[in-house]
Amino acid sequence: MKKHNFSAGPAILPAPVLKEAAKGVANYQGIELSLLELSHRGPEFMAIIEEATALVQELMDLPAGYKVLWLTGGASTQFFMAPMNLLNEGETAAYVDTGTWANKAIKEAKGFGNVQVLASSKEQNYNFIPKGYKIPKEAKYLHLTSNNTIFGTQLHRFPKSPVPIVCDMSSDFLSRPIDVSPFGLIYAGAQKNLGPAGVTVVIVREDLLGKVNRYLPAMLDYRTFIKEDSMYNTPPVFPIYVSMLTLRWLKKLGGTKVMQRRNKTKAALLYQEIDTNPLFKGTAAKEDRSLMNACFVMAEGYEALEKEFLKETEANGLIGLKGHRSVGGFRASIYNAMPKQSVQALADLMRDFAVRKG
């Protein structure tokens, strides 16, 4: 039976990427050595990381002055590494609270300076993106979370900011074209749209660094990794390799503009079923619905069918659809690598379930 992987992360990867990665693990480019045992200082891996960096620069259309780093520790490390590098004690950073991960970033930043929460949707269980807040010009940066995996909301337009934007793009990185120039720092865990868990991409505007007066451990100083081209210590070789293959795949497809069209088509298909099926309803405000994570529950009066529907999804090879405990119901993560056919399979099952149970 074909499996359709709707997991929120680690998430689906493109089939040709998995095939090529498996070959590399067994015998990298015919050299009779596994990629997993190559020296990270050898010419083979140096070519990999250089190509991965160049592809990010190309696909993101990065202006001069931005550096691409390959780090470890996930977005959770960036929650404190960003303010540690950008915010002095006594200075203020502005944050918008749109979900669990934004809230964790706020908590970490409080250890390094003043945090001003400009807006929050917490009282409505994060089911919308706050808008219309004023961004203080004296803030060192504005922190945003572009997509909220747990609650199924997404920033479809970034606010005009008088200060550099720091953004957690872990779950919608490279899913659409963006203008990088308003951003001072972008970070993204790889395990949604880029590669396996274990590597984090950081894009940082170099002129923002070196302005804090605290001691920065070498491993937590962005300048360390800029100076050493992300090779200060042994990098996560395999996740970077798979990320490079995914970047090649994305470029071959036509880049982020093509990917955005594909993602909009898949999301429209699924949300159409959610909105017209009498057994289901969406949980996020329609104008803020995520193209990456569609969250929905059983409609009023049909709550008792939740476990039965989830059981049917698993029996039909639709994996990873159980919603986060904060929301309940179901969550379909439809990242870049998710084919339209898999989304159609879910919509078809929802429709069939409604015919039988409605």
Q: Is 101 a catalytic residue?
A: yes
| Residues 111, 115, 119, 123, CA torsion sign | positive
Residue of 67, 101, 172, 221 marked catalytic: 101
Q: How many CB atoms lie within 10 A of CB 1?
A: 6
**69 three-class SS:** strand
Q: How far apart are the first and last CA of the chain?
A: 27
Q: Is 207 a catalytic residue?
A: no
183 close to 208: Cβ distance less than 8 angstroms: no
| Residues 297, 299, 304, 305, CA torsion sign | negative
Q: For the chain, where are the alpha helices, taking DSSP H only? A: 15-26, 43-60, 74-86, 100-109, 222-227, 237-253, 256-276, 306-315, 340-357
Query: Mind giving me the DSSP string for 7-40?
Result: -SSS----HHHHHHHHHHHHSGGGSSS-GGGS-T
Residue of 140, 192, 266, 322 marked catalytic: 192
Query: Closest by alpha carbon to 176, among 163, 157, 160?
Result: 157
Query: Mind giving me the DSSP string for 160-179?
Result: P-SS-EEEE-TTTTTSS---
| Phi, psi (deg, nearest 5) at residue 72 | -120, 175
23 close to 36: Cβ distance less than 8 angstroms: no
Query: Closest by alpha carbon to 205, among 68, 92, 78, 109?
Result: 68
Query: Mind giving me the DSSP string for 186-198?
Result: EEEETTTTTSSTT
The vertex-332 CA angle with 326 and 336, nearest 5°, equals 125
Q: Is 357 a catalytic residue?
A: no
290 close to 152: Cβ distance less than 8 angstroms: yes
Active site residues: 101, 168, 192
